[in-house]
Amino acid sequence: MKKQILVFGIVAGLAFACGGGEKATETVTETAAPEAAAPAPEISLEDKYKDDPIYIKGVEKVKGSDCMTCHMVDRKIIGPSYAEVAAKYENTEENVNMLAQKVIAGGAGVWGEVMMSPHPALSEEDAKDMVRYILLLKK
Ligand code: HEC
């Protein structure tokens, strides 16, 4: 610990010296960490919507099913990313119904030849909650 403070003191002293400062080392304290120069990181879609009740309800159901083996929020894997799906469809009751039926029945042809497996065990209500969560994830 002592050594770190000393090194920091020297570095800070040098920086100060280059800038033409005079009483550098006396003002250096252990808590004077340099400000991070990196730009603020982009907010992920998860962070953007994580407090929305629709998100909270939907993400729980999606994680409780097998959706995440084929879908990611922000990147296409086997199926389209949720962000892509959200960008394609307006968040209307009609689309929620249509997509919920598709999740239950499975199918292919909209995004490519790969087929989504059917989910006959899902209730319509659960499928709709999942779709509402997906359509929320607009960038
Ligand atoms: C076996 C992989 C797989 C699983 C598991 C899976 N999906 Fe899919 N999903 C796909 C594929 C592939 C497509 C693209 C289908 C197409 O092109 O019509 C798709 C498309 C979708 C679409 C968009 C449908 C459309 O017509 O645009 C939604 C919404 C969706 N999935 C939600 C879900 C949800 C919710 C679950 C979990 C209950 C789930 N998926 C599980 C592979 C999967």
**CATH number of the domain where residue 104 is located:** 1.10.760.10
Q: pLDDT-derived band of residue 22, with 50, 70 and 90 as boundaries?
A: low
Instruction: Average the pLDDT over 39-67 and give the result.
Output: 93
* Ligand 1 centre distance from Cα of residue 99 (Å): 9
Q: Does residue 13 surpass a pLDDT of 50?
A: no
Tokens read off for 114: 């790969």
User: Does residue 68 share a domain with residue 6?
Assistant: no
DSSP 104: H
List the beta bridge partners of residue 116.
Answer: 107
Contact status, residue 81 vs residue 133, Cβ threshold 8 Å: no
- The boundaries of the domain holding residue 73 are 45-136
d(CA 93, CA 32): 54
Tokens read off for 27: 């003002």
Q: Does residue 23 surpass a pLDDT of 80?
A: no
55 contact partners, CB below 8 Å, separation of at least 6 = 49, 133, 136
Q: Is 123 in the pocket of ligand 1 (CB under 6 A)?
A: no
User: Does residue 65 share a domain with residue 83?
Assistant: yes
Number of structural domains found in the chain: 2
The angle that helices 93-105 and 124-136 make with each other, rounded to 10 degrees, is 120
Nearest atom of ligand 1 to the alpha carbon of 130: 35
CA 81 to chain centre: 12
The model carries a pTM of 0.78
Q: pLDDT-derived band of residue 30, with 50, 70 and 90 as boundaries?
A: low
